[in-house]
Structure 1
């Protein structure tokens, strides 16, 4: 995956050392790719929020998850659905670009996920941090791709 390095050192998380936006994002991706909902939810603040604002109501996919327990359960369900999906990610062709902002606790990621035998998926994720943990992540993608 291509990464634009920014030199931004990020905020100081509860464990006392700086974590960059790239590290937070890559931990989030790694937890998702290994389907580790507990690790993924653990990257969020206790009151952390995941939002998928473009997801239509009634699809079975969450539009909003709030709090670590809801995040863990929601991510676990998304991972179960993904496991049944026949698409295989082509990591060699998938890319992302991470953009920092004037606010050191906000960063934006543009993702282009390539699949072996399916149409690619482009999405944008906006992360808002608090003390080095994800307080809010908004995931903007085309719902047709996951439905």
Structure 2
């Protein structure tokens, strides 16, 4: 039996958000896989990547950018997976919570749509607008 949607998603999150490993990210995709981020500017390194080499290069460039100054708060971060009628398509709603310098909190929300082929990611559409500026009315208690 192949990997579940949850297993695929968790491997993707570990390779990307946790370890920031472009090789591991690219290995999750089919050879002709597509990574598309339609809401970011055209010059963003994750805008539209086709093929493992482009995904490796684009995610590597993205992860070399300065890191967000907040620390990811795993206890406040969450995700929900949604299956579809197509067994090769699922969606992930993600809220990544950060504790920022000065006691502020920020949450970055995004939606990802995964299309699989033979247990690998054939297409990932990542709906996010980038990292916000450091500001939020919610303060750490």
Q: How many residue pairs align between the two structures?
A: 128
Classify the secondary structure of the residue corresponding to 2:72: coil
RMSD: 1.5
| Structure with greater strand share of residues | 2
Distance 1:18 1:62 in 2: 28
Pick closer, same or farther for the CA change 1:128–1:115 going to 2, 3 Å.
same
Q: What per-residue deviation string (whole Å, max 9, x for no partner) do you get for residues 98-131 of structure 1?
A: 0000000000000011001142101000000000
Distance 1:62 1:27 in 2: 19
State whether structure 2 residue 120 is matched by structure 1 residue 133.
yes
Structure 2: which 5+ residue stretches go unaligned?
A: 134-141
Higher RCO structure, 1 or 2 (CA under 8 Å, sep 6+)? 1
Q: 1:123 aligns with which of 110, 114, 118?
A: 110
TM-score by length of 1: 0.81
State whether structure 2 residue 57 is matched by structure 1 residue 53.
no
TM-score by length of 2: 0.85
Task: Give the deviation of 1:44 after TM superposition.
Answer: 0.2
Structure 1: which 5+ residue stretches go unaligned?
A: 1-16
State whether structure 2 residue 47 is matched by structure 1 residue 63.
yes
Question: Residues 1-147 of structure 1: matches in 2 within 5 Å?
Answer: 17-32=1-16, 33-58=18-43, 60-81=44-65, 83-117=66-100, 118-143=105-130, 145=132
Q: Which stretch of structure 1 is more off in the superposition, 118-127 or 44-53? A: 118-127
